[in-house]
Amino acid sequence: MKTEDFETLDVPGGSPVKMWTRGVPVEQEAKAQLASTAKMPFIYKHIAVMPDVHLGKGSTIGSVIPTLGAVIPAAVGVDIGCGMMAAKTTLTANDLPDNLGPLRSAIEKAIPHGLSPKTRSFKGRDAGSWENPPSAVDAAWMTLKNEFDEICLKTPKLRHTNNYKHLGTLGTGNHFIEVCLDEEGAVWFMLHSGSRGVGNAIGSHFIEQAKQDMRTHIANLPDQDLAYLKEGTQHYDDYVQAVGWAQKFARINREVMMQNLIAAVRTVIRKPFETHVEAVNCHHNYVQKETHFGREVLVTRKGAVSARKGELGIIPGSMGAKSYIVRGKGNEESFQSCSHGAGRTMSRNEAKRRFSLEDQVRATQGVECRKDAAVIDEIPMAYKDIDKVMEAQRDLVEVVHTLKQVVCVKG
């Protein structure tokens, strides 16, 4: 591979940082955060950085961190297993109703999301939870329950998290459900969510556990969020099991939501249709064992997607922008990874300060979605240009389908 496909940030006393960021802005704070992580002694080869890179909590979003003999819980973060699912249908643009409002309403009623009482379909304290989970949630939970019980024996406080009632729910923030059209007018369903409250609890617990385990060494770390768990310790083994379970929860969470999304659409569109013609379900916040450069290592992808040769992935744009179904090229220098989206160029507070409701309405013209002050932080202008992001990683993935949303439900 030509070295000019990426830029290398040399870190004195640390591993190199290889960045697929040509043509896209990278904040200095993100570079400094990457350099801190690169100084950890167990980094394998180098850190790979995707074009949607930006400053994150714990570690830099858009980074791929391979490690030997240790794991950094804060690098994985608390939104464990967050990722995307997309399914192509046999519907076309002509099958969609002229008024998409009822379709959005049906989806909002079928899948708990957000915290606003305006959209909840039941009475309860948390509009993002089920009050009475449907049978599909019961069946899915049974595939998770036994291992969760085992994990709770080691970490009892996880028992009281919102786990079962969050399965098959969307969450808040940048999580979303969309109805999209591809370049040929085929209808796709796409959604973005993770392991919800229980994943947050698992991540938070082990981040603190790592800091406690390193209380005599934490002053020597470049950042206390780089506290790590060493392989061979009980806490390391407990974390690996719990994080693996949370990633499984996240994947199943998306599958249950997709089932409910399809059922909701069928109540509005009476024409028979099939789904999962081309289905993709991929994490972009996770850790797993992989083999790279002939050695088995732990790979943490913080806002990055696996892009093995021939593997399908999803790179969503911002609300109102294009998204992509991609096929990996198996680029080993990136640890066979690609970006997980467009990447923010400013904080949520900055977006709310800089843009108005009128800007939000204008930027989402043609999309049936919420257009209120509460979602200004998700305005497309708060994100990098998705076309430039895709150009910067042309040696990592190839585009299979280009999607444009027509309905968007935000968390």
With respect to residue 93, please indicate whether it lies within any of the assigned structural domains. yes
Domain range for 98 is 3-345+383-410
pTM exceeds 0.95 for this model: no
Q: Quick check: 55 and 223 in contact, CB under 8 A? A: no
With respect to residue 389, please indicate whether it lies within any of the assigned structural domains. yes
Total tally of structural domains belonging to the chain: 1
* Rounded CA separation 33/58 (Å): 9
With respect to residue 371, please indicate whether it lies within any of the assigned structural domains. no
Q: What is the CATH number of the domain that holds 299?
A: 3.90.1860.10
| pLDDT value of position 116 | 44
With respect to residue 41, please indicate whether it lies within any of the assigned structural domains. yes
With respect to residue 377, please indicate whether it lies within any of the assigned structural domains. no
With respect to residue 353, please indicate whether it lies within any of the assigned structural domains. no
- 411 residues of the chain, pLDDT tens digit each: 455 689 999 999 999 999 999 999 999 999 999 999 999 999 999 999 999 999 998 899 999 999 999 999 999 999 999 999 999 999 999 999 999 999 999 999 999 998 644 434 333 335 689 999 999 999 999 999 999 999 999 999 999 998 999 999 999 888 999 999 999 999 999 999 999 999 999 999 999 999 999 987 777 788 889 999 999 999 999 999 999 999 999 999 999 999 999 999 999 999 999 998 888 999 999 999 999 999 999 999 999 999 999 999 999 987 778 999 999 999 999 999 999 999 888 888 999 999 999 988 898 888 998 888 888 888 889 888 999 999 999 999 999 999 999 999 987
With respect to residue 45, please indicate whether it lies within any of the assigned structural domains. yes
Helices (H), 111-233: 135-154, 196-213
Q: Exposure of 79 by Cβ count < 10 A (0-12 exposed, 13-18 middle, 19+ buried)?
A: buried
Q: What is the mean pLDDT of the chain?
A: 92
In the chain, count H helices and then E strands: 9, 17
Active site residues: 340
| pLDDT value of position 123 | 36
Contacts of 359 (CB under 8 A, 6+ apart): 376, 379, 381
Contacts of 141 (CB under 8 A, 6+ apart): 133, 164, 167
The tokens for 223 are 């950042």
**Which run of H or E residues covers position 405?**
strand 397-410
With respect to residue 367, please indicate whether it lies within any of the assigned structural domains. no
